[in-house]
Amino acid sequence: MILVTGGAGYIGSHMVWLLLERGYDVVVIDNLEKGHSKAVLGGKFCKGDLKDKEFLDKVFSENEISAVIHFAASSLVGESVQNPIKYYYNNVYGTLNLVDTMIKHNVKKLVFSSTAAVYGEPENIPILETDKTEPTNPYGETKLAIEKMLKWMDTAYGLKFVSLRYFNVAGAHPDGIIGEDHNPETHLIPIVLQAALGIREKVTVYGNDYNTKDGTCIRDYIHVLDLCDAHLKALEYLEKYNKSDIFNLGNGLGFSVMEVIEKASEVVGKKIPYEIGQRRPGDPSILVASSQKAQEVLGWKQKYNSLEVIISTAWKWYSTHPNGYDEK
Ligand code: UDP
């Protein structure tokens, strides 16, 4: 049985769907602070928090867990700068409790949800796993602290982990049955599609004076189901080689903010209103991953790697669920 923490969230719920599809038994834990119980399409659901040791112990005692895929975390960069205590508490302390419980119950395989934010301002494009890690916000710092903690848990207790550093995750299940529903929403593709739906008046482009082809920031957008498939490959890798490692997960392709708005206009078949605004503090001009290592070592291959497919699957979700999981 695979334990998915944060399985009611955007990425976690797609992971649960994929695991069930591939015949795995799944147990989900989520505190539902940001997640949605309706997003969990199967498996056993346990409501609770990683900071609650008794709860964790109960979940591990009552279920035959063989490995953990760990998504549960606070993940808003801006909020992490305002409230670092919350981020160290939820992310670092929460993961420490999880790992402590895993070791007590002799569960020694973990796939960890990390982030491109561990790199901070990149020194090379595309970014390699061996590049320097110097986060520019507490969110990235907590994820890097966890990666370092896991290394020592491996040395001392033989806990094997694969840490996956995500770039810009987007898109949704192609049937539109689950998707992204954040409050507040801060990510570009959902914001652009909300503007297309008229839920928000317009998109504010955060600066067009960067040193890029059209002056807007370039990011590496990866489809959520390709990302989840990499987690399955990571599980198989742990099973087969019983070895810890770290991988980037991106498309290797960069798209500018303006390219995203233009492609979204094509997908939805109408002009999307936007204005050019100020730069957002802390935004690097270009973030593009090299995912060559994941391809070579994990044997990962993307299926949904065009911007059009990423945006059209997201549109399928938003156009059928304009209020997200809240059906009001
Ligand atoms: N962005 C923007 N307007 C928005 C939201 C995002 O111009 O309303 C830009 C942002 O500056 C960045 C890119 O879109 O260059 C992707 O931002 P997002 O917040 O989706 O992801 P991040 O790269 O920050 O993880």
Q: What are the structure tokens assigned to 3, written together?
A: 């334990």
At 181, is the pLDDT very low, low, confident or very high (cuts 50, 70, 90)? very high
> 145 and 53, same structural domain?
yes
> 215 and 225, same structural domain?
no
202 lines ligand 1 (CB under 6 A): no
pLDDT of residue 326: 85
Q: Give the position, in ligand 1's atom list, of the atom nearest the Cα of 207.
A: 7
pLDDT of residue 300: 97
Q: Give the position, in ligand 1's atom list, of the atom nearest the Cα of 205.
A: 7
The alpha carbon of 279 and the centre of ligand 1 are apart by a number of angstroms equal to: 10
At 327, is the pLDDT very low, low, confident or very high (cuts 50, 70, 90)? low
Helix or strand run (H / E) with residue 69: strand 67-70
- Tell me the pLDDT tens digit for each residue of 263-282: 999 999 999 999 999 998 88
User: Looking at residues 144-153, what average pLDDT do you find?
Assistant: 98
3-state DSSP helix/strand/coil % of the chain, to nearest 5: 40, 20, 40
Residue 182 falls inside a structural domain: no
> 226 and 152, same structural domain?
yes
Q: Any catalytic annotation for residue 210?
A: no
> 139 and 198, same structural domain?
no
Residues 244 and 163: their CA atoms lie apart, in Å, by 8
Query: Domain range spanning residue 212?
Result: 188-219+252-320
148 lines ligand 1 (CB under 6 A): no
Beta strands in 131-269 (DSSP E): 160-166, 168-170, 203-206, 218-219, 221-223, 245-249, 255-256
Question: Which of the following is catalytic: 87, 119, 139, 304?
Answer: 139
At a CB cut-off of 8 Å and minimum separation 6, what does 4 contact?
Answer: 12, 15, 16, 19, 26, 27, 28, 29, 43, 68, 69, 71
> 135 and 158, same structural domain?
yes
- Interface pTM, i.e. ipTM: 0.99
**Most ligand 1 atoms within 8 A of CB, residue of 182, 211, 219 to mutate:** 219
pTM: 0.97
- Tell me the pLDDT tens digit for each residue of 68-79: 999 999 999 989
Q: CA 59, 61, 62, 65 torsion: positive or negative? A: positive
36 lines ligand 1 (CB under 6 A): no
- Tell me the pLDDT tens digit for each residue of 101-148: 999 999 999 999 999 999 999 999 999 999 999 999 999 999 999 999
Task: Please tell me whether residue 187 adopts helix, strand or coil conformation.
Answer: coil
User: Looking at residues 210-239, what average pLDDT do you find?
Assistant: 97
- Tell me the pLDDT tens digit for each residue of 24-49: 999 999 999 999 999 999 999 999 99
